[in-house]
A and B are shown apart, each in its own frame.
Chain A
Amino acid sequence: AQKITQTQPGMFVQEKEAVTLDCTYDTSDPSYGLFWYKQPSSGEMIFLIYQGSYDQQNATEGRYSLNFQKARKSANLVISASQLGDSAMYFCAMRVHSGTYKYIFGTGTRLKVLA
């Protein structure tokens, strides 16, 4: 069965510091995609970054990077130089190649950036 696990319900980080949000996944499908989303208090879901299972390099998008360790089945999100506006819920998600077109989400991590 496919599963996403986010073990950090909440995290604090000082402004301008880097923070890592953990995500582990479970699938037997060799082809899959991993996604991170940000959900501010206003409720919308904002797509941040994508990593494919066959990608050789870690994905980066501005201040966001994905630390992809395939053997460990982890896809941690790294936010560099945290800003107050980064305070939000962060969700890790996965979609596998075979079977249905469903996306599987983790339970989320609430990040609070401190001034």
Chain B
Amino acid sequence: EADIYQTPRYLVIGTGKKITLECSQTMGHDKMYWYQQDPGMELHLIHYSYGVNSTEKGDLSSESTVSRIRTEHFPLTLESARPSHTSQYLCASSDPRGDLYNSPLHFGNGTRLTVT
């Protein structure tokens, strides 16, 4: 069972501020992901990483950036927050050993961001 932690759980911030959403996992998973989700809507992949120093943009264009300097840590940064960034951000990890397609995503509790 993966343990994956996101902080903060809730964040209300003003327009133009720089923010970093934290995501850490303790299981040594190589693959990590960031999803953006509006309330009650589908998940959109915005970033993913295959391992240290590997990051890729997802299917939904995002103004955010990510880094993967350590296996366990995958922070997401918004240089200048805008009201359109208001959403829930979900971090996830997976460790597909053996069969590459049978490992479920393990999610953190999410960060609900509101930009005023």
Contact = CB atoms under 8 A, between A and B. Distances in A.
Is the A/B pair a real complex? Answer: yes
Interface of A: 31-33, 35, 37, 42-47, 50, 52-53, 89, 91, 93, 95-97, 101-103, 105-108, 110
Contact of A32 (B45, B88, B101, B112): B101
Interface string B11-28: 000000000000000000
B41 A35 contact: no
A44 B105 contact: no
B101 A33 contact: yes
A96 B102 CA distance: 9
List the 5 closest pairs (A to B, CB-CB), nearest first: A45-B107, A33-B101, A107-B42, A47-B104, A97-B101
B101 A95 contact: yes
Interface residues of B, number: 29
Contacts of B109: 42-44
Interface in B61-116: 88, 90, 92, 94, 96, 99-110, 112
Interface of B: 31, 33, 40-43, 45, 48, 50, 58-59, 88, 90, 92, 94, 96, 99-110, 112
Given A32-B101, A101-B96, A47 B42 contact: no
Given A45-B90, A101-B48, A35 B42 contact: no
A44 B41 contact: no
17 contacts: A33-B101, A43-B90, A43-B110, A44-B107, A44-B110, A45-B110, A47-B104, A50-B102, A53-B101, A91-B42, A93-B105, A97-B99, A97-B101, A101-B94, A103-B105, A105-B43, A108-B40
